[in-house]
Amino acid sequence: MSARRPDRMSTRAVHAGLRPNDDEGAVSAPIYQSVTFAAPDTDTLEAINTGKARGFVYSRVRNPTVMAAEQRLAALEGAESAVLFASGMAAVSGALAPLLQAGDEMVALPDIYGVSIRYFNEILPRMGVTVRWSASSAPEDVAACVTDKTRVIYAETPTNPLVRIVDLPAISKVAKDAGALLVVDGTLGGPMNQSPLELGVDLLIHSATKYLNGHGDVLAGAVVGARTHLRGVRSMQPAHGGVMDPHAAWLLMRGMATYPLRMKQHNATGLALAEFLEAHPAVAKVHYPGLASHADHALAKRQMTDFGGLLSFEMHSPQAARHVVDATRLFAIGPSVGGVESLISQPGNTSHYSISPEARRAMGISDALVRISAGIEDVDDLTDDLTQALEGCS
Ligand code: PLP
Residues ≥6 apart with Cβ < 8 Å to 23: none
At 70, the amino acid letter reads E
159, 160, 210, 243, best to mutate for ligand 1 pocket (most atoms within 8 Å of CB): 210
What pLDDT shows up at residue 23?
65
Q: Whose CA is nearest to atom 8 of ligand 1?
A: 336
Superfamily per CATH, domain 259-390: Aspartate Aminotransferase, domain 1 (3.90.1150.10)
Q: Is the CB of 306 under 6 A from ligand 1?
A: no
Q: Looking at the chain, which runs of residues are DSSP E strands?
A: 81-85, 105-108, 130-133, 150-156, 181-185, 203-207, 221-225, 283-287, 310-315, 332-333, 343-345, 369-373
96, 187, 355, best to mutate for ligand 1 pocket (most atoms within 8 Å of CB): 187
Per-residue pLDDT at 2 exceeds 50: no
pLDDT digits (tens, 9 = 90+) for 276-322: 999 999 999 999 999 999 999 999 999 999 999 999 999 999 999 99
Angstrom distances, CA of residue 334 to CA of 58, 272, 345, 353: 37, 21, 6, 12
pLDDT class of 355 with cuts at 50, 70, 90:
confident
Nearest Cα to Cα of residue 282 among 312, 316, 313, 311: 316
Q: Is the CB of 219 under 6 A from ligand 1?
A: yes
Terminal CA-to-CA distance of the chain, rounded, Å? 50
Listed in order, the ranges of the chain carrying CATH 3.90.1150.10 are: 259-390
d(CA 338, CA 217): 11
Q: Tell me the pTM.
A: 0.95
Listed in order, the ranges of the chain carrying CATH 3.40.640.10 are: 9-257
Task: Give the distance (Å) from ligand 1 centre to CA of residue 42.
Answer: 41
d(CA 222, CA 196): 14
d(CA 266, CA 256): 14
Q: Is the CB of 87 under 6 A from ligand 1?
A: yes
pLDDT digits (tens, 9 = 90+) for 66-106: 999 999 999 999 999 999 999 999 999 999 999 999 999 99
Beta-strand pair 203-207/221-225 = antiparallel
What pLDDT shows up at residue 314?
97
What pLDDT shows up at residue 4?
47
Beta-strand pair 130-133/105-108 = parallel
- Contact yes or no for 113/258 (Cβ under 8 A): no
Lowest-confidence range among 16-25, 89-98, 166-175, 282-291? 16-25
What pLDDT shows up at residue 77?
96
Of the chain, the percentage scoring pLDDT greater than 70 comes to 97
pLDDT class of 3 with cuts at 50, 70, 90:
very low
Average pLDDT over residues 209-230: 97
CATH class as words, domain 9-257: alpha beta
pLDDT class of 5 with cuts at 50, 70, 90:
very low
Per-residue pLDDT at 363 exceeds 90: no
Q: Is the CB of 113 under 6 A from ligand 1?
A: yes
